[in-house]
């Protein structure tokens, strides 16, 4: 009975980690890309709707990764909760960055369609060019900050820039003040964003809390079910 209970706890914990990752994407007020818009002759309305939004990226991440991740949990049921958390953090970073690039590539194609549209005026085309340049600038700054952070030992870091703000996700539950200061300094130097506009979120903190709560609930349910 104890072996079965322990195995159930591990499975539930792994599931909780994945649920926490998906929940973070839905909850975090972080803009990772532009809204997808099909190019049309009404260039002005398209440009008005082009804005940073997490909704499309969240949907894409769920569609591409949710099914595969859940199936992996069954195969890794014998792993420890700590290993599951580390694996989920790594997968989260990779999938989030991939989704971000996919959406931005689509937005770039939409903006290029506006620029190439013979029926649109020069003002609308210039606005599309400016938007594309801004998007490329943000992408370059994000990559530079992520690379330097990883070089300093902060692995699986995600840097998201939206105008004058920066959201940093790090897979560390216990982030000291010294590490926070180091992250802020790197992001400031690479992006030019002021420290007061930099938000740092330790991903593992919320993931581990959710996993512990879910495992505790599972234990209670198993005990009740075995009661004559």
Mean of pLDDT values over 145-173: 89
Q: Can you tell me whether residue 168 is helix, strand or coil?
A: strand
Mean of pLDDT values over 17-22: 50
150 CB neighbour count, 10 Å cutoff: 13
Q: Where are the domains of the chain?
A: 2-223
pLDDT for the residue numbered 96: 77
Classify residue 152 by its DSSP letter: T
What whole-number percentage of the chain has pLDDT above 70? 50
* pLDDT tens by residue, 118-154: 888 889 889 989 888 988 898 899 999 999 999 999 8
Is the pLDDT assigned to residue 111 strictly greater than 80?
Answer: yes
What whole-number percentage of the chain has pLDDT above 90? 20
2-223: CATH number: 1.10.287.4300
pTM: 0.54
Average pLDDT over the chain reads: 68
């Amino acid at each position: 009975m104890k072996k079965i209970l322990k195995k159930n706890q591990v499975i539930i914990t792994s599931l909780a980690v994945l649920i926490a990752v998906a929940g973070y994407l839905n909850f975090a007020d972080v803009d990772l890309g532009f809204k997808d818009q099909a190019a049309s002759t009404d260039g002005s309305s398209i440009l008005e709707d082009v804005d940073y939004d997490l909704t499309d990226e969240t949907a894409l991440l769920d569609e591409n990764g949710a099914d595969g991740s859940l199936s992996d949990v069954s195969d890794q049921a014998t792993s420890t909760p700590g290993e599951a958390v580390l694996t989920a953090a790594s997968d989260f970073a990779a999938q989030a960055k991939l989704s971000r690039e996919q959406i931005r590539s689509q937005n770039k194609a939409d903006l290029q369609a506006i620029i190439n549209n013979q029926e649109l005026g020069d003002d609308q085309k210039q606005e599309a060019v400016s938007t594309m340049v801004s998007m490329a600038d943000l992408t370059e700054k994000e990559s530079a900050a992520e690379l330097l952070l990883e070089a300093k030992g902060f692995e699986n870091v995600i840097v998201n820039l939206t105008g004058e703000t920066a959201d940093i996700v790090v897979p560390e539950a216990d982030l000291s003040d010294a590490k926070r200061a180091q992250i802020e300094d790197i992001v400031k130097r690479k992006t030019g964003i002021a420290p007061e506009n930099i938000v740092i979120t330790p991903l593992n903190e919320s993931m581990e809390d959710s996993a512990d709560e879910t495992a505790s609930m599972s234990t209670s349910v198993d005990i009740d079910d075995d009661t004559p």
